[in-house]
Amino acid sequence: MNRRDLLKVFLKSLIFFILSHSIAFSKLKKILKNDEDWKKVLTPEQFNILRREGTERPFSSILNNEYREGDYVCIACETKIFHSSMKYDSGTGWPSFFDYYKGSIETKIDYKLFYPRVEYSCTVCEGHHGHVFDDGPKPTFKRYCNNGKVLKFVPAG
Ligand SMILES: [Zn+2]
């Protein structure tokens, strides 16, 4: 392959990369703000969890005992993250779910403790919500351990 062909292949894959990523992003529009602007719309506790990867005290969220039918949305941008049918009582003191609305969250590895954990955040506002563990119930065996104070419950109907 000569230099010109290589360049062509490179440009083609670059264009494909840009297109495939722009299609992924066009599904959910990002809402990005700086810290000062988030502080205007979030309480200090919500800001600490969402923007500083903080964790609320266990058993401190009223959503631990919420079992009505409805959706759990991100408090910052109202993106639907969980449905009540995905919720279960893990006994940990944080609202726990075994599944989520596809595309609503993104995960990354967090090394804040001495072992790596999988952290997840809202796709739209990029706010931190919680961590994923492998001790959940069927059918996913995942536990999405969410800070209840950064979720808003929207009852069905
Ligand atoms: Zn959000």
Angle at the Cα of 147 (from 142 to 152), degrees rounded to 5?
Answer: 105
- The protein residues having their C-beta less than 5 angstroms from ligand 1 (an ion) are 74, 76-77, 79, 122, 124-125, 127
Q: Are residues 11 and 49 in the same domain?
A: no
Mean pLDDT of the chain: 91
Domain count, the chain: 2
In the predicted model, is pLDDT for residue 21 greater than 60?
no
Provide mean pLDDT across the span 76-82: 97
| 115 or 22, higher pLDDT | 115
Q: Are residues 11 and 42 in the same domain?
A: no
Question: 65 CA to middle of ligand 1, Å?
Answer: 22
Q: Is 132 helix (H, G, I), strand (E, B) or coil?
A: strand
Q: Are residues 19 and 92 in the same domain?
A: no
Residue 5 confidence (pLDDT): 81
| 141 or 157, higher pLDDT | 141
- Which positions ≥6 away from 38 have C-beta within 8 Å? 47, 50, 51, 76
In the predicted model, is pLDDT for residue 16 greater than 80?
no
Provide mean pLDDT across the span 84-102: 97
Residue 27 confidence (pLDDT): 66
Question: 32 CA to middle of ligand 1, Å?
Answer: 9
**Tokens read off for 58:** 């266990």
Q: Are residues 103 and 73 in the same domain?
A: yes
Q: Are residues 107 and 133 in the same domain?
A: yes
CATH number of the structural domain spanning residue 114: 2.170.150.20
Residue 82 confidence (pLDDT): 97
Q: Are residues 47 and 5 in the same domain?
A: no
In the predicted model, is pLDDT for residue 22 greater than 60?
no
In the predicted model, is pLDDT for residue 63 greater than 50?
yes
Q: Are residues 14 and 57 in the same domain?
A: no
Question: 74 CA to middle of ligand 1, Å?
Answer: 5
- Could you say which DSSP state residue 56 is in? P
Q: Are residues 11 and 40 in the same domain?
A: no
Q: Are residues 70 and 131 in the same domain?
A: yes
Q: Which domain holds residue 124?
A: 35-155
Q: Are residues 140 and 87 in the same domain?
A: yes
The residues annotated with a catalytic role in the active site are 145
